[in-house]
Structure 1
């Protein structure tokens, strides 16, 4: 099997075709320009710096391009990175399609659509159901293609839908445990909470923040989308149903410091915040642990306060027993 980026060990050299996920032009202390790259293949993303870049190289080595790289895997402040020896754009006859290098959701689009549609029948509040269906229909294509983030969690094709499905599964388990929970409100909030990312982000390949994403953010964007849906559907956007739904979206980051304009003030909005955080956290951990040998620590995980996590030897032993 052909080795991927994360199949190489620290200090091991390689030559690989990789996708340029991002390319930020920066200036070094000596005044010369360099490119801070993020490269990607189906095993994950890794950063690397290209020093003393010429203007021609800056113009050609842009996000979305496939490049051939000679380099070595290193560790920098506990995080994996690439030490670049050589880099060039691919030639005729070499890989050129970004689709070959991007990660995808572990569930098929059709399976996620079916599971989401089944949930819609459990949203028995008429106004919430109409709003959710209206917005999903309007943004369906992008919803099932876009990532849930630029980098740290569910940053792959279909990541937004997969994150939503995963949260719905957790939400249903919690709702079945606590009968008092307003299921239509919780499920509606889960489905819509990150929908604004189809506008906040540029897409699944070489993902960047759009102008609206930078200036407004996905939380404000969804709030506006709900208002527009109410206008089209002739629903009073000041009714309690709509205000509750908007609050779910506006408070789902949990804290003002995390970007929410208001903290959770409903039982269901507090649950949404916790589910969102749980799913993102476990996904980041699973991603890092999958690239870590038993008995070793992960790289520092930026989204988890730059902490490192241990992968027990017993986990590998249990797998061997099952096999």
Structure 2
């Protein structure tokens, strides 16, 4: 008997007949030159890599191209198999669907906490920034991009790749940052709150949308790390323009801006990991480490959510991870 809910697919040789959300769709070629599609079909947290081979494409190329578009829900029939210890599916039939047949919202993964609560929490943190210039910079940038900031994911895959993921990741990082700051009085909380709030802010520019995000043109050319620092610089120029002709930052203000930008530019930690510079302040090191902690925890929790207990499961890109058995 065929399974009609994608979330119940968990082993090879299962038949599926139901709806799925196309999170990604890539046209490729076999070694013989035959076209095929690599899809990621999803419902909520569940993702299934899906192949559409040439026998389903030949003679209907334009129709298939129209149906298999990222961000759409389709009707799909297929069967599961195992490839390199990962579950995948081969499509045997598919078609477009109407809004009456399937509601897009039912297939999207959402942040685990209400967006409105996360917004209010983040805004309360920003209001705690003591330095007036830093508070103005951070608050203004957040306010300008509040709507996409609250909807976009923190990544296209792996960690926090769901609606509201950027906001949730940011709030979780600040929670950790303030916990650490409470134990080490030498930490400047202004840079922890401001640096974390803005470290990924330009992902709303780096990605094309929040439903099925791909990299935008500026995202490919520049990337969110540099663009987030650029947002700070642009905000400073606006502030100076408001102060009057030939206005300049004081020496202390300029150093504070540099430190804020440094926290943003160094948050990937190493040059080979995408940071233009490596951390050179206490706060920059902490932000990098907290970013690693929060992204890894989310990656592992989601990767093991449907994994069998008491066994090792391959979680990309971390390798095999163990899920302990639950005695309850």
Give the TM-score, by structure 2 length.
0.91
In the other structure, the counterpart of 2:23 is 21
Q: Distance in 2 between matches of 1:93 and 1:126?
A: 51
Residue pair 1:78, 1:300 contacting (<8 A) in 2 also: no
Q: CA deviation at 1:16?
A: 2.0
Residue pair 1:80, 1:299 contacting (<8 A) in 2 also: no
Q: Distance in 1 between matches of 2:183 and 2:4?
A: 45
Q: Distance in 1 between matches of 2:180 and 2:231?
A: 28
The answer as to 2:261 corresponding to 1:249 is no
Give the TM-score, by structure 1 length.
0.92
In the other structure, the counterpart of 1:312 is 324
The answer as to 2:119 corresponding to 1:113 is yes
Q: CA deviation at 1:8?
A: 1.9
Give the one of 42, 45, 48 matched to 2:44: 42
Q: CA deviation at 1:3?
A: 6.6
Give the one of 163, 183, 189 matched to 1:183: 189
Quick one: structure 1 residues 267 and 3, their matched pair in 2 at CA, closer, same or farther if it must change by over 3 Å? Answer: farther
Q: Which runs of 5+ in 1 are unaligned?
A: none
In the other structure, the counterpart of 1:98 is 104
Alignment of 1:59-208 (within 5 A): 59-91=66-98, 93-95=100-102, 97-208=103-214
Residue 239 of structure 1 aligns to a residue in which SS? helix
Q: Which runs of 5+ in 2 are unaligned?
A: 241-247
Quick one: structure 1 residues 179 and 283, their matched pair in 2 at CA, closer, same or farther if it must change by over 3 Å? Answer: same
Quick one: structure 1 residues 242 and 68, their matched pair in 2 at CA, closer, same or farther if it must change by over 3 Å? Answer: same
Runs of 4+ residues deviating >3 angstroms: 235-238
Q: Deviations over 1:282-323 (max 9, x none)?
A: 001000111112112223322x2xx1111111xx11xx2xxx
Residue pair 2:115, 2:150 contacting (<8 A) in 1 also: yes
